[in-house]
Structure 1
Amino acid sequence: MRSLLFTASLLATTLSSVQAAYSLKDSWSGSNFLSNFDFFTASDPTHGFVQYVDASTASSLGLTKVQNGAVIIKADNTTVSSSAGRKSVRITSKKAYTKGLFIFDVNHVPFGCGTWPAMWTVGPDWPNNGEIDIFEGVNKQSTDSMTLHTKQGCTMPSSRNQKGTTVTSNCWVNAPGQSSNQGCGVTNNQATSYGDNLNNAGGGVYVTQWGADGIYIWWFQRSAIPANIKSGAPDTSTWGKPDAAFPLGSSCPNDFFANHNIVVDLTFCGDWAGSVWGSSGCPGSSCNSYVQNNPSAFNDAYWSINSFKVYQ
């Protein structure tokens, strides 16, 4: 009887593990990548010094292309821009997701004075369905900023099982005592998580696990990508502490996050990069003037993306 009970228990555990395993839902790369996105062409909501262009314009200007199998998304780096801002690209996935495992494989990210690149997910009727900033930074920032933005009623515990450093704990975009739209942020402590260090390390993968119990973000540089990610069978239980942990529950309901589209963009100056220009170590007194008049300064302002994969 004991043997039968053990066998039944083992079978149940095995079935549970199988049921909990992630299955590949979507995979975008190479020539099929951009067809899964819409190009944003309205004014920048963050007041950046930028002109977002449509798909045909981006292609004709060489701001989007496939090169050696990777998708290149870049800003104009050849002309002095008009007073409307430097031409660049912002794309939003046509599909929306609630929960899942998101694996973003990048070779190169935009970097340099005036730049404000971001890779994030966001729901409709912002901020009521939440925002998850996976990769974000400005100017000469050294490591990645990971942040949640929500409506009122979401806070994070001061102590969390993560490798990163907590910056703020109230995710509400209008939280008292925090900058407008600051959200609850975590700084990645890995030197290769942003900018030149990331690019010089050959890139890597950003992984976001979004489940009922929380949102967790890992960064793995190219030489440290787990084998189970490479094999297409990701297992988060083998990866150790995430760089950022945002537990969901009584202090932050999981239904604050729903129906997220994936967004990739590169803006300039604006509410963040522009507001800290004076302390950034960048030349000149004006972010807008620098971005407008120094096209070659943006030779490094491009994304090189191998793939985006979504598991559920």
Structure 2
Amino acid sequence: MRLTTVFSVTTLLLGSASAWNLTDTYQGSTFFDGFNFSNITDPTKGTVQYVDRATAQSSGLISVKNNVITMKADDTNVTPNGRPSIRIASKKTYNSGLFILDLTHMPTGCGTWPAYWLVGPKWPNGGEIDIIEGVNNQTNNHITLHTSANCQMDPTSSNGTGKWLTNNCAVNATGQSPNAGCSVQSSSATSYGRGFNSAQGGVYATQWKDTTGIQVWFFPRRSIPSDITSGHPNPASWGKPTADFPFSKCSSNHFSNLAITFDLDFCGVWAGAVYKSQFHCPGTCSDYVINQPKAFSEAYWNINSLKVYQ
């Protein structure tokens, strides 16, 4: 989604050792030019049809109005072959950076499985960083790393405020559910879903450094640091992150050439598996997704901007 874009933007050099320089801005009318649309068969077995850009445009699944980017699923039609939806990945890939996403709304509701994540080639060898992810009517965000073998986290040396759910990042880790990764649950009920949307969203900031590790902060709309809004982000001043993944028992080599990805899946191996047991959603997941289009009026992303600093 970038033609001549606002992409290779200004470089800001702040008089601080912690200064980050703005390199890429995904925003406004050129947002989609920086991404490839993936109209693929869903690898997680979801009840979904990912569509190409032309189809998304003509079907009204993507739009930009007053510089707000909207990505949504079909909420009009009964869709026997899965609900038409969006999966996009950035044309540019990254090996470090500070990623700041400002959004006002994320998809939510029974059957939904949205995610904002970074993922490398030849998965899981390039690694994966799930920054926003959840299912159905979940209220607290999950932040997760997925890697090849020999990448673990030590919760006792982590500085995050979230709750550790699992600490072995390898997708085939012994003693964990398949592909559980190392995962942290946010303590904030406004970090995901309806609570997030009711509070007019906020900012997710992800710092990825080869030397130290990966940290993710969530700032509700009313608590966004002024250095972020001014374009001079200084993570050292933000306090403890929600999730802190230090590279003490995991090499930074597990993460390389990551593309920024957004998607909106339905059912599948996570949302479908816990649809009834944990969330008490109606009927069966696939039947609900196929036959109840009006149930997905809240299944959309509204994004103000995504900025990447190096």
TM-score, scaled relative to structure 1: 0.93
Q: What one-letter code is carried by the residue in structure 2 that aligns with 1:242?
A: P
In the alignment, what sits opposite 1:177? 175
Cα distance in 2 for partners of 1:288, 1:261 equals 29
In the alignment, what sits opposite 1:125? 122
SS of 2:184 mapped into structure 1:
strand
Structure 1 residue 97, shift from structure 2 partner: 0.5
Which of 168, 184, 193 matches 1:186? 184
Cα distance in 2 for partners of 1:134, 1:17 equals 29
SS of 1:32 mapped into structure 2:
helix
In the alignment, what sits opposite 1:3? none
Structure 1 residue 148, shift from structure 2 partner: 0.2
User: Could you tell me whether the CA contact under 8 Å between 2:161 and 2:186 is conserved in 1?
Assistant: yes
Q: Root-mean-square deviation (CA), in Å?
A: 1.3
Structure 1 residue 20, shift from structure 2 partner: 4.0
Moved beyond 6 Å, runs of 4+: none
Q: Aligned ranges for residues 91-240 of structure 1 at < 5 Å?
A: 91-159=88-156, 160-212=158-210, 213-240=212-239
Number of equivalent positions? 296
In the alignment, what sits opposite 1:76? 74
Structure 1 residue 19, shift from structure 2 partner: 5.1
In the alignment, what sits opposite 2:83? 86
What's the CA shift string for 1:216-251, capped at 9, x where partnerless? 0000011000000000000001100000000013x1
SS of 1:193 mapped into structure 2:
coil
Cα distance in 2 for partners of 1:45, 1:283 equals 23
What's the CA shift string for 1:133-165, capped at 9, x where partnerless? 000000011110000000010000022211100
Is residue 273 of structure 2 the alignment partner of residue 305 of structure 1? Answer: no
User: Could you tell me whether the CA contact under 8 Å between 2:98 and 2:208 is conserved in 1?
Assistant: yes
Cα distance in 2 for partners of 1:16, 1:24 equals 11
In the alignment, what sits opposite 1:275? 273
SS of 1:255 mapped into structure 2:
helix
Structure 1 residue 67, shift from structure 2 partner: 2.0
- Closer/same/farther in 2, CA of residues 24 and 124 from structure 1, 3 Å limit: same
In the alignment, what sits opposite 2:3? none
User: Could you tell me whether the CA contact under 8 Å between 1:207 and 1:218 is conserved in 2?
Assistant: yes
Q: What one-letter code is carried by the residue in structure 2 that aligns with 1:34?
A: F
Cα distance in 1 for partners of 2:71, 2:93 equals 21
Cα distance in 2 for partners of 1:128, 1:253 equals 12
Q: What one-letter code is carried by the residue in structure 2 that aligns with 1:226?
A: P
Cα distance in 2 for partners of 1:205, 1:67 equals 20
Q: Unmatched 5+ residue regions in structure 2?
A: 1-12
- Closer/same/farther in 2, CA of residues 247 and 60 from structure 1, 3 Å limit: same
Structure 1 residue 283, shift from structure 2 partner: 3.5
Cα distance in 1 for partners of 2:189, 2:180 equals 23
Q: What one-letter code is carried by the residue in structure 2 that aligns with 1:288?
A: S
Q: What one-letter code is carried by the residue in structure 1 that aligns with 2:101?
A: F
SS of 1:266 mapped into structure 2:
strand
Is residue 45 of structure 2 the alignment partner of residue 47 of structure 1? Answer: yes
Cα distance in 1 for partners of 2:189, 2:17 equals 36
Cα distance in 1 for partners of 2:89, 2:220 equals 25
SS of 1:305 mapped into structure 2:
strand
User: Could you tell me whether the CA contact under 8 Å between 1:139 and 1:282 is conserved in 2?
Assistant: no
User: Could you tell me whether the CA contact under 8 Å between 1:139 and 1:280 is conserved in 2?
Assistant: no
Structure 1 residue 68, shift from structure 2 partner: 2.5
Cα distance in 1 for partners of 2:269, 2:308 equals 31
Cα distance in 1 for partners of 2:181, 2:222 equals 32
In the alignment, what sits opposite 2:10? none
In the alignment, what sits opposite 1:266? 264
Q: Identity percentage over the alignment?
A: 52
In the alignment, what sits opposite 2:8? none
User: Could you tell me whether the CA contact under 8 Å between 2:18 and 2:236 is conserved in 1?
Assistant: no
SS of 1:174 mapped into structure 2:
coil
Greater helix share, structure number: 1
